[in-house]
Amino acid sequence: MKLMGVINLDHELDQLNELTYFRAGAAVPFAGRYRLIDFALSNMMNAGVPDIALFVRRKYRSLLDHLGEGGPWDLNRKRGGLFVLPPDWHDPTDISAGDLQHMHNNRDFFARSTGEYVVHSGSQHLSKVDFCDLAAQHKASGADVTIVYKHVDLLEPEHDSCFRVEVEEDGTVSGIHNEKGHHNIYIDLFIMEKNLFLQQMEYCIAHGDSYFFRDAILRNPSGLKIAGYEYKGYHAVINSIESYYKNSLELLDPEKYKQLFSPDMPIQTKIKYEAPTKYLEGAEVRNSLVANGCRIAGEVEGSVLFRGVKVEKGAKVINSIIMQKCVIEAGAIVENVILDKDVQVTENRTLVGDSRRPFVIAKRSLL
């Protein structure tokens, strides 16, 4: 079954405060060496999806820098590969709006691809859905569209804005809504046949709609047969500073770490050529995730260190997320903070946030 992929960032809000002032949520660094987009892209790569469109509208400079020609995901191909597509169009008669504008104005992408089914995903839900299995179930069920949900036992504030999925015993979806007490979270992932997808898009535009999932699937004016696919593996939704912080530190649980980084479905990212990390005399590092190129002489506990971070002698980093190339100088203490890239915390300075609401320091700050 031939698949084609869409990663649609159009409807995602940039709610990560300082981290998304200048970059799209999909470009936010995560887990020491990745960016959020890597997870959706790697799932597509692991399923062998040959053509992938990324629908971007705003703040995509750092995304473009990260993605390049798509080499790390094996998408720098002669035919197909990665297409980063803005909604640009100069036809004054164009009446499309919202993410339908993206789909409409990039119809050539759909027309040229040999894919028969469209796998449509966002970037905020981190998962390891096997798209081949999803596609097989979709075809076997005879449904028009299959949407993916995760049954979440413990609902957290980040789930508030997520859609919920009502599923019958036979797997058909009887309702999609936003009732906060419901536990089946829609993880922003569906699959449908390309021709039906395009037909629905045209229908929605003709009826003045603007948002494909809401207008074609949730409201379902055409009476599509919708099936649910229950996903049971690793899942995190990153749509706020709090959820970013919490889900980052949860990777210190070896079980979660092994789920997300299971070697059978590796996560690819842009390669940097850093040397391995150096732990110097007197270093005390416990319960942490550390990327390459770091130099640690101080104390690090319960934290995530991105590439090339320096922790000098006598400095302490506790329950914090320290992004690329930050320097924590001698004697400085940071606790419950998120430092964006290239932040320098000078000697003996103390910076303590609240574990429920970490301090966020913008890129290139000097403290």
- Is residue 276 within the footprint of other proteins (CB under 8 A)? yes
Beta bridge mates, 344: 327, 366
**Who's near 111: CB < 8 A, 6+ residues apart?**
none
CB nearer other proteins, residue 28 or residue 201: 28
Query: Where do the H-state alpha helices sit in 52-130?
Result: 61-67, 98-105, 107-112
Q: Which of 288, 324, 336, 344 binds other proteins (CB under 8 A)?
A: 288
Q: Which of 199, 266, 350, 366 binds other proteins (CB under 8 A)?
A: 266
**Who's near 181: CB < 8 A, 6+ residues apart?**
155
Q: C-beta of 352: minimal distance to other proteins in Å?
A: 21
DSSP 8-state class, residue 319: S
Q: C-beta of 182: minimal distance to other proteins in Å?
A: 33
Give the count of alpha carbons within 13 A of 363, CB side only. 12
- Is residue 31 within the footprint of other proteins (CB under 8 A)? yes
- Is residue 127 within the footprint of other proteins (CB under 8 A)? no
Would you say 126 and 247 are in contact if contact means Cβ atoms under 8 Å apart? yes
- Is residue 279 within the footprint of other proteins (CB under 8 A)? yes
The bridge status of strand 235-237 relative to strand 299-301 is unpaired
Q: C-beta of 312: minimal distance to other proteins in Å?
A: 12
DSSP 8-state class, residue 117: E
Report the candidate in 314, 318, 364 with the shortest Cα–Cα distance to residue 339. 364
User: With CB under 8 A as the contact rule, which of the stretches 53-61, 96-104, 180-188, 266-274 interacts with other proteins?
Assistant: 266-274
- Is residue 81 within the footprint of other proteins (CB under 8 A)? no
CB nearer other proteins, residue 157 or residue 282: 282
- Is residue 268 within the footprint of other proteins (CB under 8 A)? yes
Report the candidate in 232, 233, 237 with the shortest Cα–Cα distance to residue 248. 237
Query: Where do the H-state alpha helices sit in 47-193?
Result: 61-67, 98-105, 107-112, 131-141
- Is residue 289 within the footprint of other proteins (CB under 8 A)? yes
- Is residue 233 within the footprint of other proteins (CB under 8 A)? no
Number of residues near other proteins (by CB under 8 A): 40
- Is residue 41 within the footprint of other proteins (CB under 8 A)? no
- Is residue 69 within the footprint of other proteins (CB under 8 A)? no
Q: And the tokens for 264?
A: 């059978």
- Is residue 273 within the footprint of other proteins (CB under 8 A)? yes
Distance CA 271, CA 33 (A): 9
Q: Which of 224, 274, 359, 365 binds other proteins (CB under 8 A)?
A: 274
Distance CA 77, CA 47 (A): 16
Question: What SS3 state is found at 362?
Answer: coil
Instruction: Find the binding residues for other proteins in span 292-321 (CB under 8 A).
Output: 292-293, 295, 304-305, 308
Q: Which of 32, 70, 228, 353 binds other proteins (CB under 8 A)?
A: 32
User: With CB under 8 A as the contact rule, which of the stretches 108-116, 119-127, 168-176, 264-272 interacts with other proteins?
Assistant: 264-272
Residues in contact with other proteins by CB under 8 A are 31-33, 71-72, 252, 254, 257, 260-261, 266-269, 271, 273-293, 295, 304-305, 308
